[in-house]
Amino acid sequence: MQPAAHITVIGAGFGALSTVREIRQRDPDAHITLVAPLAELHYLPGIIWIPSGLRTREQLVVPLSNFFSRMKVNHIAAEVTGLRDGGRVVLTTAGELRNDALVIASGGRFIKKLPGIEHAITPCEGIAAAERIRDRLRTMTGGTIAVGFAGNPNEPSAVRGGPMFEFLFGIDEQLRREGRRNKFNIVFFNPSTEPGSRLGPKAVQHLLAEMTRRGISTRLGHKLVRFEPDRLVTEGGSFPADLILFMPGMTGNAWFDQTPLARSNGGLLQADAQCRVQGTQHVYVVGDSGSFPGPDWMPKQAHMADLQAAAAADNLLKGLRGETPTATFKVELICIIDAIDHGTLVFRNTRRQIILPSSRLFHWAKRFFEGVYLRKYR
């Protein structure tokens, strides 16, 4: 009888936790070690509701001790600093960890190279960033709010634009509810003339029409130059901004530089269709950490990470048994662009694109999904 495998998972986000579940479903005896600084899941899709008070930090932080106990996971509270022996040894701030197979699901890192980027808030950096937005809005009596995002020019998929549309429309809706929208100018900026193109052409048309309907100004098609304390400068000119929300493109974790792992042009781990890191044995990547073969619009979102986790878990265990890994993942985008009490559904796969009009039903569907999803980890 083959001894139980020792599998290490790096990360504690959607991709990492889904990988743990998928491995445990297939192998009840595997020894699973998860490396992450905290035994917590931060449900970042919910931070769009923090500025309006619909969600608080306590509602979005899920302690993972119960989940780890059910899944028989050994949690190492540490940060990863590198790899050795082709991934068979993980170097951490708590020491070295040996494994038979490795899954890297430690997320991505935002590219913060633009001059003055410290003057902007990057919402998806976490709950604290959303709380800063909430607190700033409470103290502002008027002015210009600028909201935008950019990508990684060397990695088309390494962009997270969806949440920025939600912050944009959510802040507009919040100010209207508070009876002070007329005191603010809201501007959406993007270096592309078709922001959100990964959602599909119909979605772009809808988003721009919604901005017009809400009286949101746009500054499109000009490369960003720098941020100033009260101004945003592009190659097409500048405009005042009292509050700047900006989501840069993503690249790989800093610790990737301390490994020989194959990288994409955009700095992510280069994966094949089976989620294997190219040129390695029994090393897989899931979610934002990886660059995967597929269409340019392949999303960086929890749903995609879940699909990749299932393929990676299946292939990892097959590989350890001496079988040929063959599992792949489907590419699809599912997004509800929420605006506090209603939302627009966007769906895209390799065969079709669907966008459904804004409805309160989709807002409540998003909230229902949050509850169902987090129940797995409580």
pLDDT digit string, tens, across residues 245-264: 999 999 999 999 999 999 99
Which pLDDT band, with edges at 50, 70 and 90, does 84 fall under? Answer: very high
Pick from 37, 44, 39: nearest CA to 131:
44
Which pLDDT band, with edges at 50, 70 and 90, does 370 fall under? Answer: very high
Distance of CA 349 to the CA centre of its chain: 19
The 8-class DSSP code of residue 323 comes to P
Find the mean pLDDT for residues 51-56: 97
Pick from 187, 250, 185: nearest CA to 220:
187
Distance of CA 357 to the CA centre of its chain: 25
Q: What is the pTM of this model?
A: 0.95
Which pLDDT band, with edges at 50, 70 and 90, does 42 fall under? Answer: very high
As given in the structure block, the two tokens for residue 128 are 């604290």
Among the ranges given (2-11, 74-83, 174-183), the one the predictor scored with the smallest mean pLDDT: 2-11
Amino acid residing at 188: F
Q: Are the C-beta atoms of 187 and 195 separated by less than 8 Å?
A: no
Find the mean pLDDT for residues 314-340: 96
**For residue range 155-164, what is the model confidence (pLDDT) as tens digits?**
888 888 899 9
**For residue range 108-130, what is the model confidence (pLDDT) as tens digits?**
999 999 999 999 999 999 999 99
Percent of the chain at pLDDT above 70?
100
**For residue range 296-316, what is the model confidence (pLDDT) as tens digits?**
899 999 999 999 999 999 999
Q: Measured between alpha carbons, how far is 281 from 86 in angstroms, rounded to an integer?
A: 7
Element (H, E) at 354: strand 353-359
Find the mean pLDDT for residues 231-250: 96
Q: What is the pLDDT of residue 159?
A: 85
Q: Are the C-beta atoms of 239 and 225 separated by less than 8 Å?
A: no
Angle at 277 between CA 276 and CA 281, to 5 degrees: 75
Find the mean pLDDT for residues 67-75: 98
Q: What is the pLDDT of residue 1?
A: 59
Q: Measured between alpha carbons, how far is 189 from 220 in angstroms, rounded to an integer?
A: 6
Find the mean pLDDT for residues 226-241: 96
Please, which residues have CB within 8 angstroms of residue 375's CB and are 6 or more apart in sequence?
Answer: none
How many CB atoms are closer than 10 A to CB 94? 12
Angle (deg, nearest 10), helices 162-177 and 201-214: 20
Find the mean pLDDT for residues 185-190: 98
Q: What is the pLDDT of residue 160?
A: 82
Q: Are the C-beta atoms of 5 and 320 separated by less than 8 Å?
A: yes
Q: Measured between alpha carbons, how far is 150 from 112 in angstroms, rounded to an integer?
A: 11
Q: Domains (ranges, CATH) in the chain?
A: 6-108+252-320 (3.50.50.60), 112-249 (3.50.50.60)
Q: Classify residue 287 as exposed, middle or buried by CB count within 10 Å of its CB (0-12, 13-18, 19+).
A: buried
Average pLDDT, the chain: 96
Q: Measured between alpha carbons, how far is 71 from 4 in angstroms, rounded to an integer?
A: 15
Question: For the chain, what is the radius of gyration of the CA atoms?
Answer: 21
Q: Are the C-beta atoms of 44 and 124 separated by less than 8 Å?
A: yes
Q: Measured between alpha carbons, how far is 314 from 91 in angstroms, rounded to an integer?
A: 25
Pick from 307, 354, 366: nearest CA to 21:
307
